[in-house]
Amino acid sequence: MVKMTNVLTTCTKKVFVSLVLFTVSMVADAKPATFLQDFRITWSDSHIKQLDGGRAIQLVLDENSGCGFASKSQYLFGRVSMKIKMIPGDSAGTVTAFYMNSDTDQVRDELDFEFLGNRTGQPYSVQTNVYAHGKGDREQRVNLWFDPAADYHTYSIFWNHHHVVFSVDEVPIRVYKNNEAKGIPFPTRQPMGVYSTLWEADDWATRGGLEKIDWSKAPFYAYYKDFDIEGCAVPGPNSCASNPSNWWEGLSYQQLDPVAARRYRWVRMNHIVYDYCTDKRRFPVTPPECLAGI
Protein backbone atom coordinates (compact mmCIF):
# COMPACT_ATOMS: atom_id res chain seq x y z
CA MET A 1 0.00 0.00 0.00
CA VAL A 2 2.86 2.34 0.87
CA LYS A 3 4.60 1.52 -2.41
CA MET A 4 1.40 2.16 -4.37
CA THR A 5 0.94 5.49 -2.59
CA ASN A 6 4.50 6.46 -3.44
CA VAL A 7 3.94 5.52 -7.08
CA LEU A 8 0.74 7.58 -7.25
CA THR A 9 2.46 10.50 -5.57
CA THR A 10 5.36 10.29 -8.04
CA CYS A 11 2.93 10.10 -10.98
CA THR A 12 0.94 13.04 -9.63
CA LYS A 13 4.10 15.11 -9.31
CA LYS A 14 5.13 14.24 -12.87
CA VAL A 15 1.71 15.24 -14.21
CA PHE A 16 1.78 18.47 -12.21
CA VAL A 17 5.28 19.33 -13.45
CA SER A 18 4.23 18.56 -17.02
CA LEU A 19 1.19 20.85 -16.71
CA VAL A 20 3.33 23.65 -15.27
CA LEU A 21 5.88 23.30 -18.06
CA PHE A 22 3.09 23.26 -20.66
CA THR A 23 1.50 26.36 -19.16
CA VAL A 24 4.85 28.18 -19.02
CA SER A 25 5.48 27.20 -22.62
CA MET A 26 2.05 28.54 -23.66
CA VAL A 27 2.67 31.83 -21.83
CA ALA A 28 6.13 32.15 -23.35
CA ASP A 29 4.69 31.59 -26.82
CA ALA A 30 1.88 34.13 -26.29
CA LYS A 31 2.62 37.55 -27.75
CA PRO A 32 1.10 40.89 -26.68
CA ALA A 33 -1.20 42.60 -29.16
CA THR A 34 0.65 44.60 -31.79
CA PHE A 35 -0.20 48.00 -33.21
CA LEU A 36 -1.32 46.72 -36.61
CA GLN A 37 -3.75 44.21 -35.14
CA ASP A 38 -6.23 46.95 -34.20
CA PHE A 39 -4.91 50.10 -35.90
CA ARG A 40 -3.99 51.56 -39.27
CA ILE A 41 -1.89 54.58 -40.20
CA THR A 42 -4.06 57.40 -41.52
CA TRP A 43 -1.56 60.15 -42.11
CA SER A 44 2.13 60.25 -43.08
CA ASP A 45 3.26 56.66 -42.59
CA SER A 46 6.88 57.80 -42.91
CA HIS A 47 6.44 59.56 -39.56
CA ILE A 48 5.22 56.52 -37.59
CA LYS A 49 7.79 53.91 -36.65
CA GLN A 50 6.96 50.53 -35.11
CA LEU A 51 9.09 49.47 -32.15
CA ASP A 52 9.52 46.23 -30.19
CA GLY A 53 7.99 44.08 -32.92
CA GLY A 54 4.99 46.37 -33.30
CA ARG A 55 4.10 46.40 -29.61
CA ALA A 56 5.03 50.09 -29.40
CA ILE A 57 5.23 52.97 -31.85
CA GLN A 58 7.00 56.29 -32.24
CA LEU A 59 5.19 59.31 -33.70
CA VAL A 60 7.27 62.07 -35.30
CA LEU A 61 6.52 65.74 -35.92
CA ASP A 62 8.90 67.83 -38.01
CA GLU A 63 8.65 70.81 -40.35
CA ASN A 64 7.43 68.55 -43.13
CA SER A 65 4.57 66.76 -41.41
CA GLY A 66 2.88 65.40 -38.34
CA CYS A 67 1.15 62.01 -38.38
CA GLY A 68 -1.79 60.00 -37.12
CA PHE A 69 -3.42 56.59 -36.79
CA ALA A 70 -6.89 55.15 -36.24
CA SER A 71 -8.54 51.93 -35.14
CA LYS A 72 -9.68 49.54 -37.86
CA SER A 73 -13.11 49.25 -36.20
CA GLN A 74 -15.62 51.55 -34.57
CA TYR A 75 -17.08 50.85 -31.15
CA LEU A 76 -20.33 51.58 -29.34
CA PHE A 77 -19.49 52.02 -25.64
CA GLY A 78 -16.62 50.43 -23.71
CA ARG A 79 -13.15 51.46 -22.60
CA VAL A 80 -10.04 52.40 -24.58
CA SER A 81 -6.62 53.11 -23.14
CA MET A 82 -3.04 53.66 -24.23
CA LYS A 83 0.25 54.25 -22.50
CA ILE A 84 1.85 57.39 -23.90
CA LYS A 85 5.18 59.12 -23.28
CA MET A 86 4.95 62.75 -24.34
CA ILE A 87 7.43 65.02 -26.09
CA PRO A 88 10.20 66.00 -23.66
CA GLY A 89 11.75 69.42 -23.22
CA ASP A 90 10.54 72.38 -25.25
CA SER A 91 7.34 71.12 -26.89
CA ALA A 92 5.51 74.47 -27.15
CA GLY A 93 3.02 74.63 -30.01
CA THR A 94 2.66 70.88 -30.38
CA VAL A 95 -0.43 68.78 -29.64
CA THR A 96 -0.46 65.06 -28.99
CA ALA A 97 -4.08 63.92 -29.27
CA PHE A 98 -5.85 60.70 -28.27
CA TYR A 99 -9.57 60.68 -28.96
CA MET A 100 -12.70 58.90 -30.16
CA ASN A 101 -14.64 60.20 -33.16
CA SER A 102 -17.78 59.13 -35.01
CA ASP A 103 -16.32 60.39 -38.31
CA THR A 104 -19.55 62.18 -39.23
CA ASP A 105 -19.36 65.79 -40.41
CA GLN A 106 -22.55 67.51 -39.30
CA VAL A 107 -23.53 65.74 -36.10
CA ARG A 108 -20.31 64.13 -34.97
CA ASP A 109 -19.72 62.71 -31.54
CA GLU A 110 -16.19 63.03 -30.19
CA LEU A 111 -14.32 62.49 -26.91
CA ASP A 112 -10.94 64.23 -26.79
CA PHE A 113 -7.67 64.10 -24.92
CA GLU A 114 -5.35 66.86 -26.22
CA PHE A 115 -1.93 67.14 -24.58
CA LEU A 116 -0.67 70.69 -25.01
CA GLY A 117 3.04 71.28 -25.41
CA ASN A 118 4.95 73.65 -23.17
CA ARG A 119 8.16 75.56 -22.76
CA THR A 120 10.79 73.66 -20.81
CA GLY A 121 9.99 73.41 -17.11
CA GLN A 122 6.39 74.54 -17.36
CA PRO A 123 3.46 72.27 -16.48
CA TYR A 124 2.07 69.97 -19.16
CA SER A 125 -1.66 70.56 -19.60
CA VAL A 126 -4.23 68.13 -20.92
CA GLN A 127 -7.39 69.47 -22.51
CA THR A 128 -10.54 67.36 -22.69
CA ASN A 129 -13.56 68.08 -24.84
CA VAL A 130 -16.90 66.40 -25.49
CA TYR A 131 -18.88 66.64 -28.72
CA ALA A 132 -22.42 65.26 -28.62
CA HIS A 133 -24.72 65.37 -31.66
CA GLY A 134 -22.47 67.96 -33.29
CA LYS A 135 -22.24 70.28 -30.28
CA GLY A 136 -18.79 70.86 -28.78
CA ASP A 137 -17.11 73.81 -27.04
CA ARG A 138 -16.97 71.91 -23.74
CA GLU A 139 -13.27 72.30 -22.98
CA GLN A 140 -11.63 71.69 -19.64
CA ARG A 141 -7.90 71.81 -18.88
CA VAL A 142 -5.98 70.06 -16.15
CA ASN A 143 -2.32 70.50 -15.22
CA LEU A 144 -0.79 67.06 -14.82
CA TRP A 145 0.84 66.36 -11.46
CA PHE A 146 3.86 64.58 -12.98
CA ASP A 147 6.19 64.89 -15.95
CA PRO A 148 4.42 62.94 -18.73
CA ALA A 149 7.56 63.00 -20.87
CA ALA A 150 9.71 61.19 -18.31
CA ASP A 151 7.90 57.86 -18.58
CA TYR A 152 4.79 56.16 -19.91
CA HIS A 153 1.44 56.87 -18.25
CA THR A 154 -1.96 55.34 -18.96
CA TYR A 155 -4.69 57.51 -20.47
CA SER A 156 -8.18 56.05 -20.82
CA ILE A 157 -11.67 56.93 -21.99
CA PHE A 158 -14.57 55.02 -20.43
CA TRP A 159 -17.97 55.36 -22.10
CA ASN A 160 -21.34 53.85 -21.24
CA HIS A 161 -25.01 54.91 -21.09
CA HIS A 162 -24.47 56.74 -17.80
CA HIS A 163 -21.34 58.82 -18.24
CA VAL A 164 -18.00 59.39 -19.97
CA VAL A 165 -14.95 59.24 -17.72
CA PHE A 166 -11.50 60.51 -18.75
CA SER A 167 -8.75 59.05 -16.55
CA VAL A 168 -4.99 59.36 -16.11
CA ASP A 169 -3.34 56.39 -14.40
CA GLU A 170 -6.81 55.37 -13.14
CA VAL A 171 -7.38 58.83 -11.65
CA PRO A 172 -10.54 60.41 -13.11
CA ILE A 173 -9.88 63.93 -14.37
CA ARG A 174 -13.27 64.52 -15.97
CA VAL A 175 -16.75 63.01 -15.77
CA TYR A 176 -19.45 63.95 -18.27
CA LYS A 177 -22.83 62.60 -17.20
CA ASN A 178 -25.73 61.53 -19.39
CA ASN A 179 -28.43 64.17 -18.97
CA GLU A 180 -30.45 63.32 -22.07
CA ALA A 181 -33.55 63.18 -19.88
CA LYS A 182 -33.07 66.94 -19.42
CA GLY A 183 -32.70 67.55 -23.15
CA ILE A 184 -28.89 67.72 -23.07
CA PRO A 185 -27.12 65.80 -25.87
CA PHE A 186 -25.05 62.77 -24.93
CA PRO A 187 -23.20 60.40 -27.32
CA THR A 188 -25.42 57.32 -27.24
CA ARG A 189 -26.24 56.57 -30.88
CA GLN A 190 -23.11 56.72 -33.01
CA PRO A 191 -20.21 54.27 -32.86
CA MET A 192 -16.78 55.89 -32.68
CA GLY A 193 -13.31 54.98 -33.84
CA VAL A 194 -10.16 55.45 -31.79
CA TYR A 195 -7.67 58.01 -33.14
CA SER A 196 -4.37 59.63 -32.29
CA THR A 197 -2.37 62.41 -33.92
CA LEU A 198 0.78 64.44 -33.35
CA TRP A 199 0.56 67.84 -35.01
CA GLU A 200 1.46 71.53 -35.06
CA ALA A 201 -1.04 73.85 -33.36
CA ASP A 202 1.06 76.83 -32.34
CA ASP A 203 -1.76 79.23 -33.23
CA TRP A 204 -3.55 78.20 -29.99
CA ALA A 205 -1.97 75.31 -28.08
CA THR A 206 0.51 77.04 -25.75
CA ARG A 207 -0.59 80.18 -23.88
CA GLY A 208 -3.27 80.80 -26.45
CA GLY A 209 -0.80 80.80 -29.31
CA LEU A 210 1.74 83.18 -27.77
CA GLU A 211 4.39 80.45 -27.64
CA LYS A 212 5.37 79.19 -31.08
CA ILE A 213 7.11 75.97 -32.10
CA ASP A 214 10.89 76.19 -31.99
CA TRP A 215 11.70 74.12 -35.06
CA SER A 216 15.37 74.03 -34.07
CA LYS A 217 14.26 71.48 -31.44
CA ALA A 218 12.62 69.25 -34.08
CA PRO A 219 12.00 66.46 -34.72
CA PHE A 220 9.57 65.94 -31.84
CA TYR A 221 8.78 62.40 -30.68
CA ALA A 222 5.89 60.83 -28.78
CA TYR A 223 5.74 57.13 -27.88
CA TYR A 224 2.79 54.75 -27.47
CA LYS A 225 2.38 51.19 -26.22
CA ASP A 226 -0.09 48.81 -24.54
CA PHE A 227 -3.01 49.55 -26.85
CA ASP A 228 -6.19 48.29 -25.19
CA ILE A 229 -9.72 48.42 -26.60
CA GLU A 230 -12.55 46.74 -24.70
CA GLY A 231 -15.77 47.62 -26.48
CA CYS A 232 -18.48 46.41 -28.80
CA ALA A 233 -17.16 46.52 -32.36
CA VAL A 234 -19.57 47.79 -35.00
CA PRO A 235 -20.96 46.39 -37.20
CA GLY A 236 -21.84 43.77 -34.65
CA PRO A 237 -24.83 42.38 -32.77
CA ASN A 238 -27.91 44.60 -32.65
CA SER A 239 -27.77 44.34 -28.87
CA CYS A 240 -24.32 45.95 -28.86
CA ALA A 241 -25.50 49.19 -27.28
CA SER A 242 -27.89 47.89 -24.65
CA ASN A 243 -26.77 44.38 -23.73
CA PRO A 244 -26.56 44.33 -19.89
CA SER A 245 -24.00 41.52 -20.09
CA ASN A 246 -21.42 44.01 -21.39
CA TRP A 247 -19.24 44.62 -18.34
CA TRP A 248 -19.09 48.39 -18.85
CA GLU A 249 -22.86 48.63 -18.34
CA GLY A 250 -22.70 46.87 -14.95
CA LEU A 251 -24.04 48.48 -11.80
CA SER A 252 -20.57 49.15 -10.41
CA TYR A 253 -19.66 51.17 -13.54
CA GLN A 254 -22.69 53.47 -13.51
CA GLN A 255 -20.97 55.93 -11.17
CA LEU A 256 -17.54 56.46 -9.66
CA ASP A 257 -16.72 54.22 -6.73
CA PRO A 258 -15.71 55.96 -3.46
CA VAL A 259 -11.96 55.77 -4.17
CA ALA A 260 -12.34 57.13 -7.72
CA ALA A 261 -14.71 59.84 -6.49
CA ARG A 262 -12.16 60.96 -3.88
CA ARG A 263 -9.41 61.10 -6.51
CA TYR A 264 -11.69 63.05 -8.82
CA ARG A 265 -12.39 65.66 -6.13
CA TRP A 266 -8.64 65.99 -5.54
CA VAL A 267 -8.06 66.73 -9.25
CA ARG A 268 -10.89 69.26 -9.34
CA MET A 269 -9.60 71.05 -6.26
CA ASN A 270 -5.90 71.10 -7.11
CA HIS A 271 -5.26 70.73 -10.83
CA ILE A 272 -8.04 72.13 -12.99
CA VAL A 273 -6.92 75.35 -14.70
CA TYR A 274 -9.82 75.99 -17.10
CA ASP A 275 -13.49 75.00 -17.13
CA TYR A 276 -15.85 76.26 -19.81
CA CYS A 277 -18.67 76.10 -17.24
CA THR A 278 -17.17 79.07 -15.37
CA ASP A 279 -16.05 81.06 -18.42
CA LYS A 280 -18.54 83.94 -18.37
CA ARG A 281 -16.83 85.69 -21.27
CA ARG A 282 -17.56 82.80 -23.61
CA PHE A 283 -20.77 81.72 -21.93
CA PRO A 284 -22.63 84.59 -20.22
CA VAL A 285 -25.45 82.10 -19.69
CA THR A 286 -24.17 78.97 -17.98
CA PRO A 287 -24.49 75.94 -20.29
CA PRO A 288 -27.35 73.68 -19.15
CA GLU A 289 -25.18 70.58 -18.62
CA CYS A 290 -23.11 72.57 -16.12
CA LEU A 291 -26.22 73.29 -14.06
CA ALA A 292 -27.30 69.66 -14.38
CA GLY A 293 -24.00 68.45 -13.02
CA ILE A 294 -21.24 67.12 -15.28
Reply yes or no on whether 114 is catalytic.
yes
pLDDT tens digits for 247-256? 998 899 999 9
Burial class (CB in 10 A: 0-12, 13-18, 19+), 196: buried
Looking at residue 175, its pLDDT comes to 97
Cα maximum dimension of the chain:
90
Give the mean model confidence (pLDDT) for residues 201-222.
88
Task: Name the active-site residue from 63, 110, 211, 249.
Answer: 110
DSSP codes, 134-152: TB----EEEE-SS-TTTS-
pLDDT at 101 over 50: yes
Supply the mean pLDDT for the chain: 86
For domain 35-292, the question of CATH label 2.60.120.200 is answered with yes
Q: Is the pLDDT of residue 287 over 70?
A: yes
Per the model's pLDDT, the better-predicted residue between 90 and 30 turns out to be: 90
Weakest-pLDDT range from 17-21, 154-158, 188-192: 17-21
Considering the chain, what percentage of its residues have pLDDT values greater than 70?
85
Residue 189 burial (CB count, 10 A): 13
- Which range has the worst mean pLDDT, 181-195, 223-237, 272-286? 223-237
pLDDT tens, residue by residue, 140-179: 999 999 999 999 999 999 999 999 999 999 999 999 999 9
114, 200, 211, 289: the active-site residue: 114
- Report the Cα–Cα distance between both ends of the chain, in Å, rounded: 72
The more confidently predicted of residues 29 and 213 is: 213
Q: Is the pTM of this model over 0.75?
A: yes
Q: Which has the minimum average pLDDT: 110-119, 161-170, 229-238?
A: 229-238
* CA dist., res. 130 & res. 168, Å (int): 17
DSSP string, 83-110: EEEPPPS--TTEEEEEEEE---SSS--E
- Contact between 101 and 193 under an 8 Å Cβ cutoff? The reply is yes
- 139 as an active site residue: the answer is no
Residue 9 confidence class, pLDDT cut points 50, 70, 90: very low
